[in-house]
Amino acid sequence: MDTQNNDTIDLRKLFSLMIEKKKIVIAIIVICTIIATIVAFILPKSYQSTTLVRVKSGGSSAMAGYAAMAAGFGIDIGGGGSSGSPESYIELMKSREVLEPIIAELDLPDEDKEKMTVAGFTKSNLEITNIKKTDLITIAAYGKTPEEAQMISQGVADNFLALMTKLNKEDNSTTLKFLDERIKIAKEEMETAENKLAAYQQEHKIYAPDEQAKAIIANLNNYDTIIAQLQAQSEGDSAKLAGVTSQLEQQNASLLEYNVSDNTNIGNIRESIVNKRVELVGLQQQFTDEHPDVLKAKEELNSLEKSLSDEISKAVNSQSVTLSPVQANLLKDKISTEVQISVNNASLEALKAKQAEAQENIATLSADSVEYMRLSREATITGQVYTSLVQNYEQTRIQEAKDSMDIQIIDAADLPKAPVKPNKKIIVAIGFVLGIMISFGYTLYNYSRRYGL
C-alpha cells in the first residue's frame, strides 16, 4: 500500500511545496525570462526585402520557327511549347552567375566571401517561391541591414533578367549568323535569276504567257512557294539544332543519346502531319482559303501539331526525371527540332513528287513558253527562298527581343523598416515557458527528496 502511494504524486503536497519554494520558483522564471530578453536584443538583426517577378509562358525560340513556317501555309499553331516553367526560373535564380556578383558586393571581409558558397548563401539569405497556380515568383532576401536586404533581393531579379537576355541571345546567335550568310547568297541567286528572265523576255518578246501557261505556272508556283519555305525552314532548324546540341553537350553529353525514332506515337503523328500537309496543298490548288474543306484541313493540321508538341513533352518528361529543369527544356528543344526537320524533309519528298506530276503538263506548251516558264519559276523560287530567309531572320530577332521580355519585375525590392528576425516577443515567450518548465522540474525534484516517488 505504501509502495502504491510512493508511485503517485499528491498534487496538494506538490502545490504546497511550490508555495513553500515560491521565491526560488519565481526567481527561476524571472531569470529565464530576463535571459531570453537579453538574447532577443543581442541576436543580430535580420531584415527582409521582397521582389515580385512575373515569368510569362510564351513560345520558345525553337518553336518560334515552326510557327513562322506554319504561317506560310496559312496555319496558326500558336507559339507552341513554353519558354520555361517557374521551377526552371527558380533554379536559374540560384545559379552562380546570378548570385556570385551579389556575394561580391556584401559588406564582409574578403576571407569570408571566399569561404561563402552559392548554396550556403542561398540557404541563409534567400527564399525564392512560386505562388501556386500563377506565373509569379517571390524573391525574399535577408540581410543584416535594410540596404543589404534590398540589394540582395533586387540584385537577384536584375542579374536573373540579364542572364535570361544573355541565354536567349546565345540561343539565337547561331541561327542569326547562319541566316545572315544564307540571305546574302539567296539575294545574289535571286538577282541572277531575275536578270536572266528579263533578258529572255527582251530577246523573245515574251512578256506574258497564254492562259494555259498561266494555269500551269500558277499550279507549279504554289508548289515552289511551299517547297521553298520548307527548305528555308529546314536550313534554319538545322542551325538551331546545332546550337541546342552544343548547349546539351555542355550540360550533359549523355542526353544526346536520346533517340526520338524509338517513340511509336511521335512517329505516327509525324506521318499524319506529312499526309495532312500534302492534302492541304492539293485542296489549296482547287479552292480558296475560305473553303470549308481547306479550313477543316488547316484545323486538323493545327491539332496534329499540338499533339506532336504534347507527345514530345510527355516523352521527354518520362525519360528525364533525374534532370534539372534547364536540361529537360534543352532536351525538349533538341527533340522538337529533330522531329520538325524530319517532318519537313518528309513533306518535301511528298510535295516534290506531286510537283513532278504537275510538271508533265509542261509538255503541252511551246518551246519558248517552256523556257519562259523555267526562267520564271527559277526567279520565283529564288525570290521565295530569299523572302522566307529574311522573314525567318526577322522572326528570330523579334523572338530574341521577346524572350528577353518574358521576365517582368512587378514589384521592385522594398527597403524594410523593421527587422523580421529575431522575433523578440516569441523569444521572450519561449524564455518564460522554459522558466516555468524548469521551476516545475525543480519542484518535482524537491518533492521526490521529501516524499519519494
- pLDDT, one tens digit per residue, over 144-180 is 889 999 999 999 998 888 888 777 776 667 777 777 8
Asked whether 144 and 125 are in contact (CB, 8 A), the reply is: no
In a domain, 200, yes or no: yes
Same domain, 280 and 247: yes
Burial of 165 (0-12, 13-18, 19+ CB in 10 A): middle
Same domain, 152 and 199: yes
Share in percent of the chain as helix, strand, coil (round to 5): 75, 5, 15
Amino acid at 39: V
pLDDT at 245: 72
Residue positions counted in the chain: 453
- Could you give the 3-state DSSP secondary structure of residue 320? coil
In a domain, 331, yes or no: yes
pLDDT at 366: 58
Same domain, 438 and 378: no
Beta strand residue intervals within 172-225, DSSP E: none
Asked whether 168 and 60 are in contact (CB, 8 A), the reply is: no
Query: How many angstroms separate the CA atoms of 274 and 304, rounded?
Result: 10
Which structural domain range is residue 325 located in?
Answer: 51-411
Does 276 have pLDDT greater than 70? Answer: yes
Same domain, 225 and 303: yes
Asked whether 65 and 172 are in contact (CB, 8 A), the reply is: no
**Considering its fold, how many domains does the chain have in total?**
2
In a domain, 219, yes or no: yes
Query: How many angstroms separate the CA atoms of 376 and 118, rounded?
Result: 63
Asked whether 404 and 164 are in contact (CB, 8 A), the reply is: yes
In a domain, 1, yes or no: no
In a domain, 8, yes or no: no
pLDDT tens for residues 47-98? 889 999 888 654 444 334 433 333 333 333 333 334 456 777 888 888 888 8
Same domain, 329 and 442: no
pLDDT tens for residues 90-110? 888 888 888 989 998 888 888
Same domain, 165 and 273: yes
In a domain, 184, yes or no: yes
Burial of 89 (0-12, 13-18, 19+ CB in 10 A): buried
Same domain, 38 and 55: no
Most confidently predicted of 106-120, 237-251, 432-446: 432-446
For the beta carbon of residue 427, count every other beta carbon within 10 angstroms: 18
* Joined grid coordinates for residue 189: 541567286
CB burial of 261-270 (b: ≥16 within 10 Å; e: otherwise) equals eebeebeebb
Same domain, 63 and 128: yes
Amino acid at 270: R
Same domain, 31 and 120: no
Same domain, 37 and 55: no
Does 114 have pLDDT greater than 80? Answer: yes
**Across all residues in the chain, what is the average pLDDT?**
76
Q: How confident is the model at residue 438 (pLDDT cuts 50, 70, 90)?
A: very high
In a domain, 175, yes or no: yes
Same domain, 191 and 144: yes
Burial of 195 (0-12, 13-18, 19+ CB in 10 A): exposed
pLDDT at 324: 58
pLDDT at 318: 65
Same domain, 205 and 106: yes
pLDDT tens for residues 317-372? 665 545 555 666 677 777 777 777 878 887 788 777 777 776 666 655 556 666 77
Q: 20 or 214, which is more confident?
A: 20
Q: How confident is the model at residue 205 (pLDDT cuts 50, 70, 90)?
A: low
**Cross-strand partners of 50:** 140
In a domain, 352, yes or no: yes
For cell 549568323, the residue is 177
CA 74 vs. chain centroid, Å, equals 27
